[in-house]
Structure 1
Amino acid sequence: MQRELAEKISLTQLFILVSTFLFGSAIVVGIGGEAKQDSWIAVITACLLGIIPVCFYIFLLSKIPGKNLFEIMEIALGKIISKILILLYITYFFYVSARVLRDFGELVVGDLLVNTPIEVISITFMLLVAYILYLGLEVLGRFSEIYAPYLVGGLIVVGILLFLSRELHVENVLPILPEGLGPIMSTVFPDLITFPFGELVAFTMILPYASKTRYAGKTTVLALVFSGLILAYSSFVQIATLGSDTKIRAKFPLLNAAGEISLLNFIERVDLIIIFVVMFGILVKISILFYGGLKGLEQIFGRPYRAFIYPMAMVIAFLSIIISENFAEHLKEGIDLVTWMIHIPFQFGIPLFLFPFVLWKTKDVRAERKKV
């Protein structure tokens, strides 16, 4: 199928998109809290193990160069089966987009615009996402280059200001491994390996558009490692500031930690700046997931993805609101349902199912070329 435009992003933009995608809602809701004071170790462990599925996605794409996951499905499985799987992935990408949007809406309504209905936040934010994607993937890449330094810089500055405010208590992360590796591994599998690292399956829709596809895989892995270190740093700062029971004490641990900053009776309420900073990570994450779903619609209906942007943006805004009655139910649903019933099948199950068919198809193509 002909692509509407030959969109391209540079390797630098790809690196930034992968990094900010992983920060996304992981920075907002916090990750690894189940491992308590060893959460930062759990994040590093999950990051290193997360390289394995990412390399698998890259290898899968390399078997049929220049094609995204949905196009590969159609080549390997035929139109009927591929359309069923693509519809499932569309649902997955849109559903996870709605969950991430709900995370951000709860953050803003709970700590910044307390008198603003969450519906207003969701609709406004999705209109912004829709506008950026309507302009194209290249615009999202350029946008990310501008705002990425604020995201990473903001996270680092929070740790420095907490240290200068004497709110950073390193003893909170001690003792290290008091119960051995058990709590860490139970946190890594399946929670951290699926969220956020396994969600990089969405980049199977982006990698074919890298300007130098030869180096796209290495760039993605480097971005994954970089993001893992920053997330581990963020987790360390949260534990050192709030204690090992951050999951119980705070809905948004980093925000609560930033709220402890008070320096020279002048530098205060840094948490408001943090909301602005993490908004960029949320925007990139929703945009990538939303783009993946839109490309699925393009593949099925044969129309440019831009034709679906605004209607589906409003669907996601609506879904984010009705997805749960309150934030507690939203988080519980993520623990009880999303990881096992949604993340694992789409991040690991279907790609593994697809793999032998791709190998068989590429084997047939090579055999035909030899005959010619």
Structure 2
Amino acid sequence: MERISKYQLGTMIILFEIGSTPLFELGIKAQRDAWIAVLLSILFGLVLLLLFLALQKRDPELNLIQMMIKYWGPVIGRVTAFLYIVFFAYESMRNVRDFGDLTLMTFLSRSPISMIMGILIFLSMYAIYKGIETFFRVSEFMVLGVISFYLALCIMAFISGIVDFKQLLPMLEYGVLPVVTLAASDTVFFPFGQMVLFLMFWSYVKKKEGLAGASFGAYLVSSTVILISNIMNLAVLGVHYTSISMIPLLQNVQLIQIARVFERFDALVILLFYVGIFIKATLWYLAAVMGLGEIFNTDYRKMILPVGIVIYSSSFLEPDWTYHLWLGHFVGVTSMVNPIFLVFLPLLLFLVMLMRRKLMKASADQPEPGLEQSSDV
């Protein structure tokens, strides 16, 4: 069985959580209070992370698919597992489409999107074929560069004098309830609730001691980067321009100018986006492949090509970036897909685990009939 270290796990969580998130301004429906919605979502996400880790602690050597088959039976378990596989593939498709649209909007506006997305799918296929250990090892070399670049962009924005925190005022203009509602019903799911994906990978960690600490630490690091990015967009662009911008962080960086020498960091930001999208698309893809391999009891590598074809083909169903954003909200929030797969099903699985454990303990505590009779005699 392939194994990964806690450090590799932590670095992968950081890259996954940051991923494509800076492409969007989370919680912008809360206007100036978008950053508060993100902060609350981070806290709500911690509760979900506790739930996911509690599931893993019950059966440390099983992944999510194996847990469902074990505790829900071969029929219901496999059906639910297949639905999760479809969910994983759908999320991978969304990141593939992010990659294609981002490239068209920034660098290669006249290039065929089929070729652009095909390159990402090919790279993901190769990474998955090389194995879980190899792919997770890549994150070790990327994570410091990604965090350093985001930190550098933040510092340069301050030096160039484009940051104005007055644009965050007044706070809670419309009260607390709308912000809390938005955080609990929408913002928490992307990207914080997506930590459910790591139920597919925690079982591969060599030493389970400290797994929760590594996961929490990585979650907090990535959440801090996301929160700072969110605040900087609002403080630089203001709520109006942030809400209508296609890619707020990119517009933010285009305003950075230091001594008329250091400017135009667009390429750096897009490179960061590419790294995050590649990691995220590949992890979702890998989880879908692993799940199918588990259901059909075969090597997951045999599923790379068919799943890749499905992900690549379905990425053409969205005609443009606007529809892509609308579909993401419709499927994830309006249709309740995110709450079902990120909250309700994991919670139900945890309750079944608890009930089964209590029943087994109760049956073990009952004395055998023969032993009762002999003791009475």
**2:95 is aligned with 1:100:** yes
2:80 corresponds to which of 79, 85, 92: 85
The whole-number CA distance in structure 2 between the counterparts of 1:63 and 1:366 is: 15
Say whether the 8 Å CA contact 1:191–1:339 is kept in structure 2: yes
* Aligned equivalents of 1:48, 1:189: Cα separation in 2: 10
> What residue in structure 1 maps to residue 322 of structure 2?
328
Aligned to 1:133, which of 106, 119, 128? 128
Of 165, 184, 202, which aligns to 1:189? 184
What amino acid does structure 1 have at the position aligned with 2:350? F
1:365: how far off?
A: 5.3
1:151 aligns with 2:124: no
Which shows bigger deviation, 166-175 or 204-213?
Answer: 166-175
What pairs up with 1:210-221 in 2 under 5 angstroms?
210-221=205-216
Amino acid at match of 1:249: I
Q: Secondary structure at the match of 2:301?
A: helix
Q: Is 1:12 aligned with 2:7? A: yes
1:125–1:369 distance in 2 versus 1, CA, 3 Å: farther
Does the Cα contact within 8 Å between 2:288 and 2:307 map onto a contact in 1?
Answer: no
Q: Is the 8 A contact 2:38 2:188 kept in 1?
A: no
Q: Is the 8 A contact 1:238 1:246 kept in 2?
A: no
Deviation at 1:117, TM superposition (A): 1.5
Q: Percent identity?
A: 29
Cα offset for 1:29?
2.1
Q: Distance in 2 between matches of 1:207 and 1:365?
A: 26
> Secondary structure of the equivalent of 1:113?
coil
Instruction: Report the aligned-residue RMSD.
Output: 1.9
1:354 paired residue number? 349
The whole-number CA distance in structure 2 between the counterparts of 1:186 and 1:363 is 35
1:44 aligns with 2:45: no
Between 1:165-174 and 1:68-77, the stretch displaced more is: 165-174
Stretches of structure 1 that go unaligned for 5 or more consecutive residues are: 1-5
Q: Match for residue 224 of structure 1?
A: 219
Matched, 1:24 2:22: no
CA distance in 1 between partners of 2:172 and 2:362 (Å): 54
How many angstroms does 1:363 deviate by? 4.0
Q: State the partner residue of 1:345.
A: 340
Unmatched tracts of structure 2, length 5 or more: 369-377
Residue-by-residue CA offset, 1:50-72 (whole Å, 9 max, x unaligned): 11111111111211221111111
Aligned twin of 1:271: 266
Tell me which moved more, 116-125 or 217-226: 217-226
8 A Cα contact 2:25 2:230, kept in partner: yes
- The answer on whether the counterparts of 1:31 and 1:235 sit within 8 Å (CA) in structure 2 is yes
Considering only CA atoms, is the larger Rg found in Structure 1 or Structure 2? 2
Given that 1:33 and 1:246 are in contact with CA atoms closer than 8 Å, whether structure 2 keeps it comes out as no
Query: Is contact 1:34–1:183 with CA below 8 Å preserved after alignment?
Result: no
Distance 1:90 1:246, change over 3 A: farther
Q: Give the superposition deviation at 1:286.
A: 1.4
Of 148-157 and 198-207, more deviation after overlay is shown by: 148-157
**Shift in Å at residue 49 of structure 1?**
1.4
Aligned residue type for 1:199 = Q
Matched residue of 1:114: which SS?
Answer: coil
Report the Cα distance in structure 2 between the residues aligned to 1:310 and 1:365, rounded to whole angstroms. 42
Q: Distance in 2 between matches of 1:271 and 1:192?
A: 26
Read off the aligned partner of 1:72 and give its amino acid letter. Answer: M
| 1:315 to partner: Cα distance | 2.0
Aligned length: 366
CA drift of 1:179 comes to: 2.3
TM-score (norm 1): 0.93
Indicate the residue corresponding to 2:49 in structure 1: 54
Counterpart of 2:4 in 1: which secondary structure? coil
CA distance in 1, matches of 2:148, 2:364: 51
Structure 1 residue 262 displacement after superposition:
2.0
- Structure 1 position 66 matched with structure 2 position 57: no
1:174 paired residue number: 169
Name the amino acid aligned to 2:296: F
TM-score by length of 2: 0.92
CA contact (8 A) 1:8 1:209 kept: yes
Aligned-pair distance for 1:38? 2.0
Distance 1:110 1:314 in 2: 25
Q: Aligned-pair distance for 1:197?
A: 0.8
For 1:176 and 1:327, the matched residues in 2 are separated by 31
8 Å CA contact retained: 1:48, 1:225: no
The change in CA–CA distance for 1:198 and 1:171 in structure 2 (over 3 A counts) is: same
Contact 2:97 2:315 in 1 (8 A): yes
Counterpart of 1:334, as a letter, is: G
- Between stretches 31-40 and 195-204, larger displacement belongs to 31-40
Q: Which letter does structure 2 place at the counterpart of 1:329?
A: Y
Deviations 1:129-156 (A, max 9, x none): 1111111111122111111112111111
Q: Which segment drifts farther, 251-260 or 37-46?
A: 37-46
Output the CA distance in 2 between the equivalents of 1:247 and 1:162: 16
Specify the code of the residue in structure 2 equivalent to 1:283: F
Displacement of 1:247 in angstroms is: 4.7
Alpha carbons of structure 1 residues 248 and 228: separation in structure 2 relative to 1, 3 Å: same
Using the alignment, how far apart are the partners of 2:206 and 2:16 within structure 1? 19
After the TM superposition, which of the residue ranges 259-268 and 134-143 deviates more from structure 2? 259-268
In 1, the alpha carbon distance for the partners of 2:241 and 2:221 equals: 24
Which residue does 1:3 correspond to in 2?
none
